[in-house]
Amino acid sequence: MQLLKKLKQYSGPQGPVVLVIMDGFGIGKYEQGDIVRTVYTPTLDWLTQNALFTQLKAHGTAVGMPSDTDMGNSEIGHNAIGCGRVFDQGASLVNKSIASGDLFKGPVWQELIENVIDHNSRLHFIGLLSDGNVHSHIDHLEALLAHAKSAGVPKAAVHILLDGRDVPPTSALEYVDRLEAFLAALNQDNTIDFAIASGGGRMQITMDRYQADWQMVARGWNTHIHGQGRQFPSARQAIEELRAENPEVIDQDLPPFVIAPNGQPRGPIAEGDSVILFNFRGDRAIELSMAFEKEQFDHFPRGPKLNVTYAGMMQYDGDALIPEKYLVDPPGIDRTVGEYLVKAGVKQMAISETQKFGHVTYFFNGNRSGKFDEALEDYVEIPSDKVPFEERPWMKAAEITDRVIDAVFNEPYQFIRLNYANGDMVGHTGVIQAVEIAVQTVDLCLARLLKAVKKAEGILIVTADHGNSDDMFIRDKKTGQLVIDPDSGKPKQKTSHSINPVPIFIYDPSGQAPMVISKQKDLGIANIAATCLNLLGFETPADYTPSIIEFR
């Protein structure tokens, strides 16, 4: 790895370069539903007039997704921001591996199949059932099921996690009906038994992240593994009855259910079975993987390690080697901003609350756990509240801001990166009043940071990893017209990310950096890495995407 070279025309600011990532803040196409645009945000308005400003792509091929119809997300967004290049990401890698057949020729797939054939046992699939393409894709599940049948697997159970977050909030039955039809076609010759066995909303069971709430995983464990919980004859009936009992609930919050058409669960996970977690994204897959693989485990009463053959779609943590077995190799990301700066002796701080702490550390560092240098890096996690985000839309933004302002004045950091989770996490709830408060909270915190950075003679960079709060209503894909809820007469709420561009503001209060916005076309968030290095006084590494700024 080559060392960074110093710029000749600029040596960096007196104070720190502070990179603010406003999670879920895009630039909307339509005013109605764009909370970022319509609420009172005097700080963002001031930056638009007084800082360097442009728009960046944060979705599709600009962040390594298969096509420009694919939304970005926080994980690949922080990968792009932190590593300065565009890598094929999970969805693309899995697509290619399935299309080429490499996945099914690999030793892990063969081991999973041989295990169930040798033991006449069951092959289980656990994962998010949607085509959101953020954590998983139903196409991948169907490909795995079809190849399992052709490989001679006699029995398979699918444990579905309902989305309503990366797809419309009450769209679960579309995916359940599609999967049921697919399974019926596989089963029609009566040679196999493939069926849905259990399920529940992704924010209720199984898909916790950053060890924020292990009880989510415990509920999933009891549902999927033990077949314990409320029973229904089918997944459709489970969803319909649970919605009838709570008409306001969206898919991600539906409680767990077990499919038991004759009073017996269809597919508890037993000794000798094989299990595939078909999510490709890592953050919400690590804890379940730990529960399957760790010999010593005390996060909930799991009991002894289950004797099953377990694999993930990908390896979700390359440093901790979680899981040990996986079907598709993750992207190999190296030479990130953090690593380059450590080699240059630059003192750094990364901070967020629990919900996005792994994003400014693990994902920013190219899916790498731990620090590059203990002496030069400080990672600060502010514990998130364990309450629904719409009930605390301010989240921990103020506490993050307090800590950063203290660091600006009292610590020798040259580079500080932080994430405000509000626009994304609250945006996913679909509760408009809460989203308005979330956006205004971030703007208020930015005002405080702006004053501190100005006083310290640093440089402030304000950007986002993807959109969300800028696109809160569902629209017809062809016409762009709002989709109206027939019951309320109001626009249907959208809870997924947008594919809108995101802003970047670069503010040098000292005026010492002789810079302008680059005239390059198609700037994306991968260009932020080189920009940060330039503002710290370093040249852009040879294979990085170019900087957003040019020095006069």
CA distance linking residue 198 with residue 159, whole number of Å? 5
Which of 74, 198, 352, 498 is labelled catalytic?
Answer: 74
Distance CA 181, CA 158 (A): 14
Q: Which helix (H) or strand (E) holds 424?
A: helix 422-425
Q: How far apart are the first and last CA of the chain?
A: 29
The C-alpha atoms of residue 157 and residue 145 are separated, in whole angstroms, by: 10
One-letter amino acid at 87 equals: F
Distances in Å between the Cα of 329 and the Cα atoms of 91, 94, 325 are 12, 9, 10
Q: How far apart are the C-alpha atoms of 91 and 96, rounded to whole Å?
A: 9
Estimate the crossing angle of helix 138-150 against helix 172-187, to 10 degrees.
10
Nearest to 278 by CA among 127, 429, 154: 127
Report how far residue 57's alpha carbon sits from residue 464's, in angstroms, rounded to the nearest whole number: 10
Q: Any idea which residue has 């390059």 for tokens?
A: 520
514: cis peptide before it, omega within 30°? no
Cα–Cα–Cα angle for 209, 435, 496, rounded to 5 degrees: 55
Give Cα separations from 176 to 135, 142, 198, 259, 394 (angstroms).
17, 12, 12, 13, 35
Active site residue 274: no
Strands in 317-389 per DSSP E: 326-328, 348-353, 377-382
Dist. CA 101–CA 103, nearest whole Å = 5
Q: Is 118 exposed, middle or buried (0-12, 13-18, 19+ CB in 10 A)?
A: exposed
| CA nearest neighbour of 75 among 23, 126, 118 | 23
Q: How far is CA 437 from the centre of its chain?
A: 22
**H-state helical runs in 208-311:** 214-224, 235-245, 286-293
Tokens, residue 59: 């979705």
Does residue 209 contact residue 358 with C-beta atoms inside 8 Å? Answer: yes
Q: Could you give the CA distance from residue 225 to residue 334 in angstroms, rounded to a whole number?
A: 37
Q: Is 523 helix (H, G, I), strand (E, B) or coil?
A: coil
Cβ(169)–Cβ(252) below 8 Å: yes
Q: Helix, strand, coil shares of the chain as percentages rounded to 5?
A: 35, 20, 45
> Within 10 Å of residue 297's Cβ, how many Cβ atoms?
15
Residue whose structure tokens are 């997924």: 496
Q: What residues act catalytically?
A: 74
